Structures are given as C-alpha cells and as structure tokens.
C-alpha cells in the first residue's frame, strides 16, 4: 500500500479518479520494476454527516518483474479504517477538550 495525495477529501479524490488525474507511481517500491494497471477494489470512506459514508475505488498496479500488487490509498484514509483523517483529527481534538460523545465536536 502506498499513500497518494489526490485532494483533501472524498469529493476531490473521486473527481481526480474519474477524470484520470490520479498520479500513480510507475515503479515498484520493492524491486524497481515497471508497474502496470491491475484494476481496483472498493472500500469505505466515512466523512460522517448525511451521505458521508461512500464506497470509493482504490487503484492497484502489479509489478511486471516481481509480481507484487501495490494499492494506492488516498492520503486521507488509513488501512483498515473507514473514518477519514479530518474526522479522526476532530474527534481527537474534541476528546482533548473534554468532549465525551453525544455531539460532534465543533471544528
């Protein structure tokens, strides 16, 4: 898994993905071989609020030399977690200020 920056949120990532503006590395991080398109898989991204949870495509490439598959996760997501980083940061800051649930902390 390699994080890529493709905008700060789901909407800008989807716009870049749909228009083909994602800049994905072409060299394998393990062996330096050439990476080729290998489809994508879907995963959840939760920005909370109405319509905040979406399934988004995550691009993959496969190395022609070593055969490894590399996934390119948007930088606002973490592996195995659907909450986007901005929401996680707001929760952390709210907890530091003493919020213990019931309401979302203000920004």
Binding site for Zn ion (CB under 5 A): 28, 30-31, 33, 63, 65-66
Token digits for 29? 């991080």
- Alpha carbons 39 and 52: distance in angstroms, whole number: 25
6 or 70, CB closer to Zn ion? 70
Q: What are phi and psi of 90, to 5 degrees?
A: -65, -40
3-state helix, strand and coil shares in percent for the chain, rounded to the nearest 5: 20, 35, 45
Helix (H) or strand (E) holding 49: none
10 or 63, CB closer to Zn ion? 63
18 or 34, CB closer to Zn ion? 34
């Amino acid at each position: 898994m390699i994080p890529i920056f493709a905008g700060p949120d789901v909407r800008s990532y989807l716009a870049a993905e749909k228009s083909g503006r994602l800049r994905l590395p072409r060299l394998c991080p393990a062996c330096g071989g050439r990476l080729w398109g290998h489809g994508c898989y879907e995963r959840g991204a939760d920005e909370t609020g109405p319509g905040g949870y979406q399934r988004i495509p995550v691009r993959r490439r496969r190395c022609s030399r070593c055969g490894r598959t590399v996934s390119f996760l948007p930088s606002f997501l973490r592996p195995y977690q659907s909450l986007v980083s901005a929401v996680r940061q707001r929760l952390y800051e709210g907890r530091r200020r003493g919020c213990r649930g019931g309401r979302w902390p203000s920004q």
